[in-house]
Structure 1
Amino acid sequence: MDTLQSMKVFVRVAQRSGFAAASRDLRMSPATVTKHVASLESRIGVRLFDRTTRRVSLTEAGQMYLERCLECLNAFEDADTAISELSKEPKGLLRVAGPVDLGNQIAGTIAQLLREYPGVKVELLLSNRPVDLVEEGIDVAVRVAASLDGRYVARPIALARVGIFAAPAYFRRFGRPRRPEDLRQHRGLVFLEPRPRDEWIFERDGKSVRVRLEAFMTSNSGAALSIASAAGAGLVVAPSFVAHPELIAGRLELVLPDWKVLPELGVYAIYPHRRFLAPKVKAFLETLRATYGDGGRDPWWVEATPKSKKRTNSAR
């Protein structure tokens, strides 16, 4: 069998942790996928996967072989990309990853990309866990972070300010916090992934206050917490792109507007390599830049305080 094709099949089985899922992705029969893996195992003389009725996992040799296969396949892809650069026409499958709560924003950018470049197909994978771009075969990931570790090439897209928000109904019942220390007496809605975030730093005029919220509700969905807060469940600390829909609708208000919430977040597009960047990746990065800019502004921030709402109403 074609060794290069068998390596591609092996990598997809490893990435998807299953033969059936890999066969669907590759549009091959499960039997063909099994034959490709068996051919590799026979050629190199080791077992690559441990198989049970419930799961498929890499052996120690399989993990080592996966790393080498990825290096080899990336080299082949670089060679192909160098030639395809001559055409400059974005095409092929683009695999994009991003956090769940930024999914709607990413999907809108992808829709624009697909309208402009009919030859491009997109697989959008949303998860709050960190992804290994090389091992998981991701072309571009959109990441929200205070800082990055420098492992990948990163392009700033936007700022995402963090604020603390609650509903007018909540204030009528529990009162409005006037200073960060007051938050300790209120009901907190806490985001869980990649780790619970119930402690925040508030800064103003050189003064910093660290406050821990008591969690009355937790979730791995910032949007769910924002909706619950808009329904009066409690205070939510959220980045602007999460709170934006409820702020625009007037269901949430910004609390402590004179205080900055730390850490400040950036939104980045990250990708594994700077060399031989595929036209489809370049097109997506350019679409992001055209939509959001070069990382210098927050396109989702709304000053949704009672005072600003009053000005908006009077202007009507």
Structure 2
Amino acid sequence: MDLNRVATFLRVVEAGSFTAAATHLQLPTSSVSRSVAKLEEDLGVVLLERTTRKIALTDAGRAYYERAREAVAGLDEANLLAGEAAREPSGVVHVAAPPELGGKLAVLLGEFIRQHPRIHVDVITTARGAELVGGQVDIAIVSGQLRDSDLIVRKLGVSVHRLYASAAYLERRGVPRTVADLARHDAVLYRGSGGHATWELVGPRGPESIKVQGPLSGDSVQFVFEAVVGGHGIGLLPEQLLSRLSASAMPIEHVLPKFSATGALQSLVHASRHLPKRVTLLRDFLSQHLVSCERAC
């Protein structure tokens, strides 16, 4: 089977005539007509009904066109991917990530671009990265459950959250000694809580829950961190966010250090299964190293 004849047949159908297809292919109309006729001869079936004014697909031609179009598109994609594999990956990858990952991500991306110096990574810090995928960004790191969508999701794992407060707050309001004591304190909460939330904590005696409230809430870990540092209450923060700080540089203190909570699920999302090599390389790199960091933190 001559694939050039198949491609010529597809072009005739899409162009609507032998003449238009010949113009696009920069071939004589007679050559295009002979190519399709030879394909029909090879297949032993009539693909096109021809009149002096127009062409029309036969039933067999319509079925052949649909399958052949998919096959040629797959071959074109395979050729493109093979070409990319033969070249050193280059170009820009746009990534969205929550603000609290900024420091950790900068370290990881530094290693990535040392490995792939022709790739440029552009990072947008936002808590709503999933909404940008397929438009402004190629891939996004998101926290929490995703709404139903067509995005491709790769789960990274969950983070460990612990309780923190500033020294000034604890001096003013006292240090909680039990989980029940938290009900009498101000909590810095995540957006959507309406000023109230239930914290599910795990400690020496197993799971414990407590209803908390507070006058401040925000939609990012960074806001909660800054509010806790500012002395506005007790917050549940990812342990890995503060793990790089030395004890002397820690701006806040552990509260009830034997207790922890499971944080939001983190995921890596993108819009298509078929990605340019530069995007695939970064996706796989982040999947490996972010998961490793979560486990290590």
Structure 1 and Structure 2 fold alike (TM over 0.5): yes
What SS is found at the alignment partner of 1:178?
coil
Match of 1:216 in 2: 215
Q: Normalized against structure 2, the TM-score is what?
A: 0.61
In the alignment, structure 2 segments of 5+ residues that lack a partner are 1-73
Provide the C-alpha distance between the structure 2 equivalents of 1:152 and 1:93, rounded to a whole number of angstroms.
21
Provide the C-alpha distance between the structure 1 equivalents of 2:151 and 2:250, rounded to a whole number of angstroms.
39
Contact 1:158 1:294 in 2 (8 A): no
Match of 1:256 in 2: 256
- How much is the aligned-residue C-alpha RMSD, in angstroms? 3.7
Letter paired with 1:92? G
- Cα drift, residue 135 of structure 1: 4.1
Contact 1:158 1:293 in 2 (8 A): yes
Shift in alpha-carbon separation, 1:134–1:290, aligned structure 2, 3 A? closer
- Cα drift, residue 222 of structure 1: 2.5
Contact 1:222 1:242 in 2 (8 A): no
Match of 1:100 in 2: 99
Match of 1:229 in 2: 228
Show CA shifts across 1:110-132 (max 9, x none): 33323332321223222212524
- Cα drift, residue 96 of structure 1: 0.8
Provide the C-alpha distance between the structure 2 equivalents of 1:80 and 1:195, rounded to a whole number of angstroms.
54
Letter paired with 1:257? P
Letter paired with 2:112? L
Q: Normalized against structure 1, the TM-score is what?
A: 0.57
Shift in alpha-carbon separation, 1:161–1:197, aligned structure 2, 3 A? farther
Provide the C-alpha distance between the structure 2 equivalents of 1:76 and 1:238, rounded to a whole number of angstroms.
49
Letter paired with 1:233? H
Match of 1:192 in 2: 191
Q: How many residues align?
A: 224
Match of 2:17 in 1: none
Letter paired with 2:257? P
Shift in alpha-carbon separation, 1:94–1:135, aligned structure 2, 3 A? closer
Match of 1:11 in 2: none
Contact 1:159 1:295 in 2 (8 A): no
Contact 1:129 1:194 in 2 (8 A): no
What SS is found at the alignment partner of 1:94?
strand
Q: How does 1:67-216 map to 2 (within 5 A)?
A: 81-87=80-86, 89-129=88-128, 131-132=130-131, 135-145=134-144, 151-157=150-156, 159-192=158-191, 198-204=197-203, 208-216=207-215
- Cα drift, residue 280 of structure 1: 0.9
Identity of aligned residues (%): 21
Contact 1:81 1:277 in 2 (8 A): no
Show CA shifts across 1:265-310 (max 9, x none): 3433222333x442212321343256444576043xxxxxxxxxxx
Match of 1:239 in 2: 238
Matched, 1:278 2:265: no
Contact 2:129 2:141 in 1 (8 A): no
- Cα drift, residue 215 of structure 1: 1.8
Provide the C-alpha distance between the structure 2 equivalents of 1:170 and 1:234, rounded to a whole number of angstroms.
7
Provide the C-alpha distance between the structure 2 equivalents of 1:147 and 1:181, rounded to a whole number of angstroms.
32
